[in-house]
A and B are shown apart, each in its own frame.
Chain A
Amino acid sequence: MKKLINNPRSVVAESLEGFGLAHHDLVQIHLDPDYVLRRDVPVQGKVGLVSGGGSGHEPLHSGYVGQGMLTAAVPGAVFTSPTPDQILPAIVKSDSGSGVLLVVKNYTGDILNFETAAELAGVEGIDIRTVVVNDDVAVEDSTYTAGRRGVAGTVLLERIAGGAADRGDVLAKVAEIAERVNANVRSMGVALAPCTVPHAGEPSFTLAEDEIEMGVGIHGEPGRHRVPMTTADSITDQLMEPVLSDLGVASGDRVLLFVNGMGGTPLSELYIVYRRAAQILADRGARVERSLVGNYITALEMEGASVTVLRLDDELTDLWDSPVNTPALRWGV
């Protein structure tokens, strides 16, 4: 394992320190317990938006702290959800009296820890709502699994709900918009090569040279099945089919198309995937009105990509376009 680290135990803290130094104009970092706040918290008269999860998915979530997106982000250990004693102060400092929306990805650990923190925040008199993101169509949502995972759709949801909070919507409205995004977004990912968790020291799974893992999540956890390596177009077809059929994309639908890199795949290849995905949508008669391409929710250095389709309406589009000023996403400012 070759990594640019000093000590596997201090990866999160040292990375966070560097992040705070690099973006001190936008964010303030707090160490022990670890959390990241907008420089100007709490924002008076506005709903706070707090998210978090395991580290290793950078720029998620810390990179999305700032105007028009998150008020606070809570990073856990690598691929491990944060603890309630980290989440609670982030909630308390994000609350201006207008309440706080928690954005939680559907993983057992994230749910349990955010649930506990929400309960504690409620005791302190803070109005809390929670939205659970579960956009991954690779996972069958049944009583036999923990339910669909929350993956790349999280980025889109944080941007749009953050836009709603920033324009001054009340908590119930921000939560409704977040739920609307979740109801209209689907994702599916593929891994070409695994990642190595720093403290584990070995790759999370192994793939033969001619094998890829379809339906992989963002933790290097194995996906649903392995298939032979093939062309970018064929892989994109396999990713898009379940996304579009599950979302029920029809002719005339307006969508946002998001091709996300898992950390180890060059942008050039992501655009090749985007090219094919856009063709598929055009063939269906759907209109791609907004796009996002890049490494926005990663799995350390895993090679691979995911495609995400969000069905847009006028309000979601306006909120997507509204000003955002964060370390990793910025426009309109």
Chain B
Amino acid sequence: MELDAAWADRWMRLSAAALSGNRQRLTTLDREIGDADHGENMERGFSAVVEKLDADGVPETPGAVFKTVAMTLMSKVGGAAGPLYGTAFLRASTAAGSASALGPAELVAVLTAARDGIVARGKAEPGDKTMIDAWTPAVDAAVTAEAAGSGPVEILTAAANAADAGLAGTEPLVARKGRASYLGERSAGHLDPGAASTALILQAAVSAAETAA
């Protein structure tokens, strides 16, 4: 199977469906430690991505798909999630370049660039109780899987599973970034909504690859 533009397109559509299906859950997580808008914002952003892909047709490369996603998220989401996910997909687009399909090494480069973009924008570190706590273990797992000679589906699966574990690991953490940080100790005992949306998006990447496999 190939991680081509059709895969990237499927990934975004499956992400949109997953975020829409989890809108209430994400908003509830955000209500507990933030301001109750994460589900709504993510659904609005990814619905706009799907509309854009429908209107313009699927671009020719995964990099071009990611660029469309980046621009759409930055203009439709707002809050912190818009710039953070927007930057992630913009960096992913640059890392993917003009390749028509991504091999294992390119896939790891794309995931790493996305994570690095979020770190650069949000200046969060692992343990701050943010989406980085899902992204960083995901990228680490992808690197390990690729080094062991895994193919794209296995790499994505390892990343998504690690993101799920990372999400679970945010529960006891005290937030040090974003609006949840205002809660101090009271932010412990809740999952981070940004890590939750990250886990959903990476799981969608696996499903999109399995569909093609």
Contact = CB atoms under 8 A, between A and B. Distances in A.
B35 A146 contact: no
B159 to A, nearest CB: 25
B182 A77 contact: no
Contacts of B75: 33, 83-85
Given A77-B37, A81-B79, A197-B35, A108 B182 contact: no
Contacts of B184: 140, 144-145, 224
A145 B79 contact: no
B130 to A, nearest CB: 10
A109 B78 contact: yes
Nearest to B182: A139
B182 A200 contact: no
B80 to A, nearest CB: 4
Interface residues of B, number: 33
Nearest to B180: A221
Interface string B92-128: 0000000000000000000000000000011000000
Interface in B152-197: 174, 176-179, 181-184, 186
A220 interface: yes
A205 B79 CA distance: 20
Contact of A146 (B78, B83, B84, B179): B179
Contact of A79 (B35, B121, B186): B35
B198 interface: no
B53 interface: no
Chain A interface size band reads 35 or more
Contacts of A220: 35-36
B34 interface: yes
A112 interface: yes
A204 B34 CA distance: 9
Contact of B37 (A79, A146, A222): A79
A24 interface: no
Q: Would you call the interface of chain A mostly helix, strand, loop, or mixed?
A: loop
A146 B181 CA distance: 6
Max count, chain B CB within 10 A of own CB: residue among A33, A109, A140, A219: A109
B27 interface: yes
Given A77-B40, A112-B83, A146-B181, A221 B78 contact: no
Contacts of B37: 54, 77-80, 197, 199-200
B137 interface: no
Contacts of B78: 54, 76-77, 80-83, 109, 113
Contacts of B80: 81, 108-109, 112
Q: With a 10 A CB-CB cut-off, give which of B35, B83, B184 has the most chain A CB atoms.
A: B35
Main secondary structure of the interface of B (DSSP, over half): helix
A89 to B, nearest CB: 12
A243 B33 CA distance: 25
A258 B86 CA distance: 39
A119 to B, nearest CB: 11
Interface in B30-69: 31, 33-37, 40-41, 44
Contacts of B81: 109
A103 B187 CA distance: 29
B36 A112 contact: no
Contacts of A19: none
B107 to A, nearest CB: 27
A325 interface: no
Contact of B84 (A85, A112, A199, A217): A112
17 contacts: A77-B44, A78-B37, A79-B36, A80-B79, A108-B177, A108-B178, A112-B80, A112-B83, A113-B83, A140-B184, A144-B181, A146-B177, A202-B31, A221-B182, A222-B186, A223-B182, A224-B182
Given A108-B177, A113-B82, A204-B31, 4 more contacts: A79-B36, A83-B75, A108-B179, A144-B184
Instruction: Please provide the 9 A-B residue pairs with the shortest distance between their CB atoms, ordered closest to farther.
Output: A112-B83, A109-B79, A219-B35, A109-B80, A145-B181, A85-B75, A200-B36, A108-B80, A80-B79
Interface of A: 33, 54, 76-85, 107-109, 112-113, 116, 138-140, 143-146, 149, 197, 199-200, 202, 204-205, 217, 219-224
